Amino acid sequence: MRTRGFGELEAVVMDRIWNHNPETVTVRDIFDELAAERQIAYTTVMSTMDNLHGKGWLQRERDGRAYRYWPVMTREEHSAQLMREALDGGGRSDLVLNYFIEQIDPAESDRLREALRRLARRTSRAKSAETKKR
C-alpha cells in the first residue's frame, strides 16, 4: 500500500484511534471525544472512518448495528513507511538523510544513533547465526 499523509480530519481521527484503549473503537467512541472539543456531526466522523477503511487504513467488523474499527498499522509503522517513501522519492537518499539529521535536536539524534546501534547488533547476530548454520 502506498502511504501518504492523511487529510486534516483523517489525521485527527487516526490519532484518536491510535491513542484509544481498548484497541477497537466505534464511530460513537471517536465522535464523543471529538464532540467534546469541537462542533462536528456524527455522520462526518462516520464517513471519515468509512473512508479510512476504504483506503485500507482501518479494518472493521460488525458488532450488532455498529462497526468496531482498528488500525491496520501502528502510528510508528505509518511514520516509518512515510519516511521510507520520502527517502525513496526525495532524490539522493544520502542528501535527504543529511537534511533530516540537520533538522532534529540532540536528544532525537541520540535516539537515532542508539536505534542504528541496535540495528547493527541485530544484523551482526543474524549474520553470525546464518554462518553457524552453514
| pLDDT at 3 (0 to 100) | 53
At residue 102, does pLDDT exceed 90?
Answer: no
Q: Angle at Cα 123 formed by Cα 117 and Cα 124, nearest 5°?
A: 90
Q: What is the pLDDT of residues 25-76, one digit of tens each?
A: 999 999 999 999 999 999 999 999 999 999 999 999 999 999 999 999 999 9
Whole-prediction pTM: 0.72
Does residue 82 surpass a pLDDT of 80?
Answer: yes
Alpha-carbon distance 26 to 68, whole Å?
5
| pLDDT over 70 at 17, yes or no | yes
What are the boundaries of each domain within the chain?
8-71, 73-101, 104-134
Copy the grid coordinates of residue 43. Answer: 455522520
8-71 folds as Arc Repressor Mutant, subunit A (1.10.10)
- Residue with more model confidence, 134 or 126: 126
Side chain identity, residue 109: S
Structure confidence at residue 26 (pLDDT)? 96
